[in-house]
A = this chain, B = another copy of it.
Amino acid sequence: MRILFLNGPNLNLLGTREPGIYGQQTLKDIENGVREYGEHHGAQIEFRQSNAEADLVTWIQEAQKSADAVVLNAAAYTHTSIALRDAISAIKTPVIEIHLSNVHAREEFRHHSMIAAVCVGQIAGFGHNSYFLGLQAAMAIIQSREP
């Protein structure tokens, strides 16, 4: 099981950015925890982050071949990127949408996700646990699709 975690803009600031809201773990901390848990359960984990919409689009495209599932925290691009939506639609690899915060409880413009309709499902609001829940969901989906 190869599971690719993609992280969008400003997530490189985790741990230093408003820790009261986003927690004190850095993205690296989360990556380490997820990798450890994933490898323990037989999943190979890859983590990437970029502030550029195009990088996320390209990585999604490549996941068609390089991954069995994608866990995507698209951050700000969640709400506006039709390009990401199109990329997700174009591949067969299942994509799971995650968010650290409960986007439904924040500003109005964060209530709508442009990508939700083409992802398998959405997990939002559980802090760094959203990554672990995303990992578990990914593993369950991969296993249910295997013959």
Q: For the complex formed by this chain, how many copies does it contain in all?
A: 12
Whether B83 and A51, one on each chain, are in contact in the complex, defined by CB atoms closer than 8 angstroms, is: yes
Complex interface: chain B residues within 8 A of A89 (CB):
18
Contacts of A102 in B (CB 8 A): 116-117, 119-122
Which of B8, B109, B123, B141 has a CB less than 8 Å from the CB of A122? B123
Distance (whole angstroms) from the CB of A33 to the closest CB of chain B:
12
Q: How far is the CA of A64 from the CA of B95 in the complex (A)?
A: 33
Once A58-B51, A86-B76 are accepted as A-B contacts, the answer to whether A129 and B140 lie under 8 Å apart by CB is yes
* Residue of B10, B87, B113, B141 touching A86 (CB-CB under 8 A): B10
Give the residues from 76 to 90 in chain A that come closer than 8 angstroms, CB to CB, to chain B. 76-77, 79-83, 85-87, 89-90
